[in-house]
Amino acid sequence: MKITEELIDHIAHLARLEFKGEDKVSIQKDMERMIEFVDKLSEIDTENVEPLIFMSEEVNRLREDEPKVTVTHEEALRNAPKKDSDYFRIPKVLDK
């Protein structure tokens, strides 16, 4: 399958990544090879086969819904690159 520049841009947008110049050329080439590599899967007859979604055999693991503090407010903010006393800080949304 041909991986076009438009497709790279579309996928990169979905993944919130950016590729420019040489990086774009190499990701395009790499993706083309990866897709060709995984295209092999279509050779296997999977008619009437249900997809295997869960590897665990456990079903409906229920527990009491008890309120408890697992991570404090302070801990949750501890690793933030930018924060104030209560919130994560982001750059101005309308700052263009």
Which positions touch another protein (CB under 8 A)? 7-8, 10-12, 14-19, 27, 30-31, 33-35, 37-44, 46, 49-58, 61, 63, 71, 75, 78-82, 88, 90-96
Nearer to another protein, 5 or 18 (CB): 18
SS3 content of the chain, % helix, strand, coil (to 5): 40, 0, 55
Q: Whose Cβ is closer to another protein: residue 14's or residue 85's?
A: 14
Closest CB 21 distance from another protein, rounded Å = 13
CB of 71 to another protein, least distance (A): 6
Chain center to CA of 35? 18
The backbone torsions φ and ψ at residue 88, rounded to the nearest 5 degrees and listed phi first, read -75, 140
Crossing angle between the packed helical segments 21-38 and 5-14, to the nearest 10 degrees: 90
CB 27 within 8 A of CB 8: yes
CB of 65 to another protein, least distance (A): 13
